[in-house]
A and B are shown apart, each in its own frame.
Chain A
């Protein structure tokens, strides 16, 4: 099959690779019809996530058709069209039993702090991802779900991570009616979080970023006020000023480790890999939320330590809520929202790129050129 493979920091290519096979009775093989590049794939692409091996195929957002099933698969058959949540989960371990699907203990031998994620290095279990023609899907009876007839394929694709994660990020904020919500990062996840904050009753939503096209999307897609942090000497002071010197009730960090930060942070994080990336967005969140407020973190950080301003968080009495989104748990409610016309996740898509051109796709996502917000990957057989 054709598959994107990692060749080292900032280098990927498409090559022929052995087809994946059934390795466990509850595995399925999925023929990918649509995949996407996620902002968090950049951490891998930039070589920041430990144990990313040469030849690894990225991609944890994909939909496709069941090509083959293992002997114990009961709920899916060959030919079914499925959406696959990015978290691999067994369904019965201590954590799955409590709905913590992103924290499954039975799928990642390489680490206990991270669950299993498709195409997300050996730190996340060593599973190849969906930026390919075929992909191995473990626990086929638990994670994947048949795409409803009425649902648009690209809405389904966006629910496998980006939109579900943004929606989850808004939930982690514990928003109550009338809250002022600030979202750092106007990538697909931040935009989804901003949009979802309204569903939960926000009274005001402000999105902070530095890319014009994304700020425009924050206004048109997420109905948010916007701030370009390059235009303010100190974004924290500006946010305080705009919130009657209180600070926001809820701040959502939808940036994660890719925040460029100042030069030293960039050097120790992105370049020397001594930090799990720059903590600049997280520190802005801690600084700009009000005392007693809530910080929601679903921006992705690596396993290495970051210089986080924990003293301020403690002194301000903050609640910090974190996790990778338990995606499948979000679906029933999100299906309703889409069906009722309250949201349309596919509006985030700006680019559709053939798999063979994925290296250019990664460069564009990394540099955020051409107004790119969300890039969908089209495998040759789709």
Chain B
């Protein structure tokens, strides 16, 4: 019991564990653990003291104001654009990572970006497809009512249809509103 000094149930002996578990104790010595000590220098094949600098893209590159400068290397995967870009740029220019506003604005930018992309897709040759893009077809082999337990998404299944269908309903409503305006103008 925890109420006396000794560990009440002694662990199995090293021999017993070695026999049962391949490799047991191979890293018993902390020196064999690569994260020990936590901070140690390594030879990393870097042949520079400070790396060459990646050219800054024309419209500039957003950065955390907790950085003293633009990092010499950065990703260029999806540059800022449009309304979501303006929201994100404001979040980066105005608030440090310590501020909740920074992250909440970025989340807001994400939602605007997703909504806009979804709307634009409706007018493209490749509109979003709620069946293929959510991967629900992977459910084909499961029964709709049984098999609900023993999976991880049971708790939020009720809200998933709203998340998926919501943008479609909003998008359709938008199309109706625009069409009405256009018809009325005639």
B150 within 8 Å of A by Cβ? yes
Q: Choose among A7, A105, A245, A343 the residue with the greatest number of B CB atoms under 10 Å from its CB.
A: A7
Residues from chain A with a CB closer than 8 A to the CB of B133 are 7, 11-13, 359
Contact B132 A13 (CB under 8 A): yes
A370-381 contact mask (Cβ, 8 Å, vs B): 1 or 0? 100000000000
A80-117 contact mask (Cβ, 8 Å, vs B): 1 or 0? 00000000111110001111110001111111110010
Contact A92 B49 (CB under 8 A): yes
Q: Choose among A8, A56, A112, A332 the residue with the greatest number of B CB atoms under 10 Å from its CB.
A: A8
In the bound complex, CA of A223 to CA of B156 (Å): 32
Q: What is the predominant secondary structure among interface residues of chain B facing chain A?
A: loop
| Residue of A whose beta carbon sits closest to that of B113 | A54
Residues from chain B with a CB closer than 8 A to the CB of A126 are 74-78
Q: Choose among B63, B64, B118, B141 the residue with the greatest number of A CB atoms under 10 Å from its CB.
A: B64
B28 within 8 Å of A by Cβ? yes
Contact B78 A98 (CB under 8 A): no
Residues from chain B with a CB closer than 8 A to the CB of A142 are 44-46
A158-197 contact mask (Cβ, 8 Å, vs B): 1 or 0? 0000000000100110100111100000000000000010
Contact A8 B118 (CB under 8 A): yes
B100 within 8 Å of A by Cβ? yes
In the bound complex, CA of A295 to CA of B46 (Å): 34
Residues from chain B with a CB closer than 8 A to the CB of A174 are 30
A210-B11 contact in complex given A108-B74, A109-B70, A201-B25, C-beta closer than 8 Å:
no
Task: Find residues 116-164 in chain A having any chain B CB closer than 8 Å to their own CB.
Answer: 116, 122-123, 125-128, 138-139, 141-142
In the bound complex, CA of A56 to CA of B4 (Å): 57
CB distance from A249 to the nearest CB of B (A): 9
| Residue of A whose beta carbon sits closest to that of B54 | A24
Contact B26 A366 (CB under 8 A): no
Residue in B8, B63, B92, B163 whose CB lies within 8 Å of A10: B163
Contact B135 A363 (CB under 8 A): yes
A111-B64 contact in complex given A304-B103, A342-B22, A366-B152, C-beta closer than 8 Å:
yes
Q: What is the predominant secondary structure among interface residues of chain A facing chain B?
A: loop
Residue in B45, B104, B150 whose CB lies within 8 Å of A91: B45
Task: Find residues 3-45 in chain A having any chain B CB closer than 8 Å to their own CB.
Answer: 7-13, 15, 23-26
Residues from chain B with a CB closer than 8 A to the CB of A219 are none
B61 within 8 Å of A by Cβ? yes
| Residue of B whose beta carbon sits closest to that of A141 | B45
Contact B117 A172 (CB under 8 A): no
A370-B141 contact in complex given A107-B71, A201-B24, C-beta closer than 8 Å:
yes
> Residues of B at under 8 Å CB distance from A?
1-3, 7-12, 14, 17, 20-28, 30, 32-36, 38-42, 44-52, 54-55, 61-64, 66-67, 70-78, 84, 88, 92, 97, 100, 103-104, 106-107, 109-111, 113-118, 121, 126, 128-130, 132-139, 141-142, 147, 150-153, 155-156, 159-160, 163-164, 167
Q: Supply 24 A–B pairs (Cβ within 8 Å), ascending by A.
A: A23-B55, A51-B110, A53-B84, A88-B73, A96-B46, A99-B39, A106-B51, A106-B72, A107-B71, A109-B74, A198-B24, A198-B25, A199-B25, A201-B25, A204-B11, A204-B12, A210-B152, A260-B152, A263-B155, A330-B34, A360-B138, A364-B138, A366-B152, A370-B141
